[in-house]
Structure 1
Amino acid sequence: MAETTEELSTMLGDLSRASERVGLKMNMDKTKVMVNIHVAPTPIKIGDSTLEVVDDYVYLGLTVQLGRSNFEKEINRRIRLGWAAFRKLHGIFSSNLPQCLKTKVYDQCVLPVMTYGSETWSLTMGLIRRLKVTQRAMERAMLGVSLRDHIRNEEIRKRTKVTDIARRIAKLKWQWAGHIARRTDGRWGRKVLEWRPRTGRRSVGRPPTRWTDDLARVAGIRWMRDAQDRSLWRRLGEAYVQQWTSFG
């Protein structure tokens, strides 16, 4: 990370030379450059290779993107990966196995794929609704019914008994937020939460949803202090989960 492309070019050049001294080589196909609105995108060369400037990049299994709508592409990607995992297990879901076994396979093999990394998402009603719609479609596929059968969502859930995706995401994020707030080892997780970015004019339009917005709606702006009390945090967590599972 650097403040100018010149500084970044110098850092990458140093990394490349240091790698070669110990017999390693940078993979230029996997090395990309992303810039924000404060830096003009300019080509960066390392040796004979010119690094590609991209708008988003998959890093450690998550789509990293600068700017607004930071999790839109990641949600789309999670839905695609969820369907891919579901189709691989189509033979199980379309078989005559008891529904309890299908539910167990779904909760252990498909749901984790769709919710991977959700602890880091800035949650909105729109994103959660899209995930819930996808889950309902998977439940109908498991039961062999369609929208034309006009079966209510509540009835479908009674039959499948799968874990509600909104509940899982909310619990994961709430637990992770409490874990980060209680850390005292000086890691970057808490430092990033306490960091205040550069001052200046806000961009035009509605401000983007921040990671802490939905936490603060339930626990208040001093939620990091409340997270120190584990029993209080667990009680507040019930209300937090409820706000994401009570709609749609």
Structure 2
Amino acid sequence: MAVVVNPGLDRSGKGRELADMMERRKVDILCVQETRWKGSKARSIGAGFKLFYYGVDSKRNGVGVVLKEEFVRNVLEVKRVSDRVMSLKLEIEGVMLNVVSGYAPQVGCELEEKERFWSELDEVMESIPTGERVVIGADFNGHVGEGNTGDEEVMGKFGVKERNLEGQMVVDFAKRMDMGVVNTYFQKREEHRVTYKSGGRSTQVDYILCRRGNLKEISDCKVVVGECVARQHRMVVCRMTLMVCKKKRPEIEKKTKWWKLKKEECCEEFRQKLRQALGGQVVLPDDWETTEEVIRETGRKVLGVSSGRRKEDKETWWWNEEVQDSVQRKRLAKKKWDMDRTEENRQEYKELQCRVKREVSKAKQKA
């Protein structure tokens, strides 16, 4: 599971780029914030991933959860509380897993808005039975800080810099709900703990939380450096193991291509073959079951059947080699700029960003 912030899904091709990143990084569940999509829907973003989202304004806020296709059928409940809090309940081989995506107000926002966010998050947590697993992926816009003196029960030592008021709210919430701040339990280089980087500022504001009793199921948690799906935020990845049996994917039934009857030549051939199969009779016999089977068999022979494979995702048709190559170049340029922030590297990254947008637009027009 992972949490990524401000992916800018309103921009051309970003949803498909996000799906590609999830597939490449082997991420099954992803919490996203600041999606800036208005509405409360679920839609495919390609590569076998589906986004459940909620937003009331296309210019700010918005939260969502992206699931790998095999987990979509396991969704029992979707709670869209506000454009800052939403949750999904999944049943995986009898194990109940609640995934919560949150986006806390920034430091400069009114106290009333901050209290509303924490109240909504409290309500979601209180509605979940204590025996069910909970994982929260959120941009809390706060610094829990380095060290854990006095707070050992809810966090580790490996935060970043000093705690602020908003970070204290995160710690207080963890204590109320008996949860642990997962990021802080794993000793990593600071570069793999910093979740937000802009100009000369670098800090940790994005966190994954889970019940303290389930911390043993998490084997690793770190920040992934080098991805460019989000502009300033970095993806936090958490590896969580649930001891469940994997279900076999059901086969899709092969279907006769009846739509070919719209073509005159196919329709005429079907008529002739059907007459032959019925023994030259123009009037159908009284035995409808026999007649039905003759019609179906003739249709299969003349019109053919589908392959039985899954349909291609709606947003996959334009994801061609040129687009993938441009995205790969952009990703490498972002990594290069992160390592050496010269004006030349910044300019190269900006040019490749524009190139990706052009390639996506061109590919969609051709398809």
TM-score (norm 1): 0.25
Higher relative contact order (CA 8 A, sep 6+): 1
Q: Which has the higher helix share?
A: 1
Please give the TM-score of this superposition, normalised by the length of structure 2. Answer: 0.18
Structure holding more strand per residue = 2
- Bigger radius of gyration: 2
